[in-house]
Amino acid sequence: MGRWEPGAAGRLHAAAMELYVAQGYEQTTVAEIAERAGVTPRTFFRHFGDKREVLFAGSEQIQHTMRAALGTAPADVSPMDAVGLALDAAAEMVGSDVRHSQRRQAVIEANAELRERELIKMATLAGVLSEGLVERGLGEREARLVAEAGIAVFRAGFEDWVRDPAGRELGSVLRESLGQLRGLVG
């Protein structure tokens, strides 16, 4: 169950992922997820708003984690280096269970609605980073540029890691992506 605590939420999450992978996201009902987890549909709805939310339950936590890392980055660190620290923090949070990430990614890539939801998640994350950079004194347009560049690094690196983990740490793949961007843009 990876990053999930035991208990009903963890069992529901594991059951949902198994069903999404085995029979497809569209074909899976909340009733089936609840049954497989050994709970009632009512219990499902105590933990998740709908079957899509199971896949996005960690979104706010990533936002908070990256925002906090920006907030505690030393004041003399450059904006892009501060974003690098936020990426380290994100990697620490989501990089511990590559198998879970692979399965989640496969489910999302197979469904247009989920791909859109993932885009929104990433745009929201860019907005959060951007706010944090403005608080560090950056102008709005600059903040947005650096934040979106950081999210591009996150997405490209994350997808690369999911496709081919090969014993690599997510954090170092993200660092490598950031270095690539620097070489290509600068």
Please select the residue that binds its own copies; options are 157, 162, 170, 174, rule is CB under 8 A.
157
Structure tokens at 137: 């004194």
Please select the residue that binds its own copies; options are 18, 32, 142, 169, rule is CB under 8 A.
142
Structure tokens at 141: 């347009």
User: Does the footprint of its own copies cover residue 87 (CB under 8 A)?
Assistant: no
Give the residue with the Cβ less far from its own copies, 46 or 182: 182
Question: Taking Cα atoms as reference points, which of 153, 113, 105, 97 lies closest to residue 129?
Answer: 153
Q: Rounded CA gap, 173 and 86, in Å?
A: 14
* Segment holding 170, helix H or strand E: helix 170-185
- Applying CB under 8 A, the site for its own copies has a residue count of 28
Query: Which amino acid is it at 184?
Result: L
Residue 125 carries which DSSP code? Answer: H
User: Does the footprint of its own copies cover residue 32 (CB under 8 A)?
Assistant: no
Residues that bind its own copies (CB under 8 A): 78-80, 116, 119-120, 123, 141-142, 144-146, 148-149, 151-153, 155-157, 160, 177, 180-182, 184-186
